Structure 1
Amino acid sequence: MAEKVSRKKQRRSVPSGQMHIQATFNNTIITFSDKKGNVLTAASAGACGFRGSKKGTAYAAQVATEKAAENAKTLYGLGSVDVFVKGVGLGRDSAIRSLSNLDISVESIKDVTGVPHGGVRPKKARRA
């Protein structure tokens, strides 16, 4: 019988990618992906140990960004990102600012927050 040779899985190098920030009032989720949108690493304020109302703070978003960016840099060699921001939470700005501490350059910043068009369905007319 032939022995099966196992090789260590090769980590791919991603020099430039995307950073998605979903900032709500309750939490901030940071996701790093390649240019096609395939997720490399992710972190959230809740996953970093923050609980309750502290998850929605700017500091919690900064800590989550540093954790996700550190993983993306060490595992994939990420050097530059295009930033996509969604939501209205407090972590929008602090997440982008914390990238400069980790030597990841920001190529562009785009706001992809959903905008309602047409609004919600109107309430049923009152009976007389």
Structure 2
Amino acid sequence: MTTPATPATPAAPAAPAAAAPSAAPAKGAKRSKKVVESEGIAHISATFNNLLITITDLRGNTLSWGSAGKAGFKGSKKSTPFAATVAAENCGREAMNLGLRRVHVRVQGPGSGRESAIQALASVGLRVASIRDVTPIPHNGCRPPKKRRV
């Protein structure tokens, strides 16, 4: 049994991709400024080899981020306190341009740039409201790496 043929309805012509409104602005166009509350959290992860800093709002949405590698340092220079200072200054400046004024700092890890990163955030103009060490401490968990014999 065959179904009766229905007259074909003309399909609407597809709009060109350039004319369709999209969520991202066109390349080179100005982006609208994010509306940011004045308080946030700076997550500083200081490892032996690098320093990562992420500044979020109080809900956890990332406002800006930086690392010693993003600041232009390579190799063993990434683990220096100076690299941590430069990375934190860049990240803090970017967050202040979005409207952030006060920050709670959460530091994790044993790296050498912990204190210098906090000082850099303060020197940029962010008010440091609190500092918390959130380094995970094992209750006799995994075996640590062997000691180096140099």
Q: Which bracket does the TM-score occupy, shorter chain normalised?
A: 0.7 to 0.9
Which one of the candidate residues 13, 22, 27 is aligned to 2:50? 27
Amino acid at match of 2:111: G
- Mark the runs of 5 or more structure 2 residues left unpaired by the alignment: 1-18, 26-30, 144-150
Aligned in 2, Cα 1:53/1:16: closer, same or farther, shift over 3 Å? Answer: same
- Mark the runs of 5 or more structure 1 residues left unpaired by the alignment: 122-128
- TM-score after normalising by structure 1: 0.84
Asked if 1:13 is matched to 2:36, the reply is yes
SS of 2:32's equivalent in the other structure is coil
Percent of aligned positions with the same letter in both sequences?
46
SS of 1:30's equivalent in the other structure is strand
Q: How does 1:59-70 map to 2 (within 5 A)?
A: 59-70=82-93
Deviation at 1:99, TM superposition (A): 1.7
C-alpha distance in 1, partners of 2:89/2:136? 26
From the CA coordinates, give the structure whose radius of gyration is larger: 2
Asked if 1:90 is matched to 2:112, the reply is yes
Asked if 1:42 is matched to 2:65, the reply is yes
C-alpha distance in 2, partners of 1:32/1:58? 19
- TM-score after normalising by structure 2: 0.72
Amino acid at match of 1:91: G
Deviation at 1:63, TM superposition (A): 0.2
Amino acid at match of 2:108: K
C-alpha distance in 1, partners of 2:33/2:120? 29
SS of 1:65's equivalent in the other structure is helix
Which one of the candidate residues 104, 107, 125 is aligned to 1:103? 125
The CA RMSD measured in Å over matched residues stands at 2.0
Count of residues in Structure 1 that have an aligned counterpart in Structure 2:
118
Amino acid at match of 1:51: K
Deviation at 1:4, TM superposition (A): 7.8
Q: Which has the higher strand share?
A: 1
Q: Which has the higher helix share?
A: 1
Is the 8 Å Cα contact of residues 36 and 57 (structure 2) preserved in structure 1? no
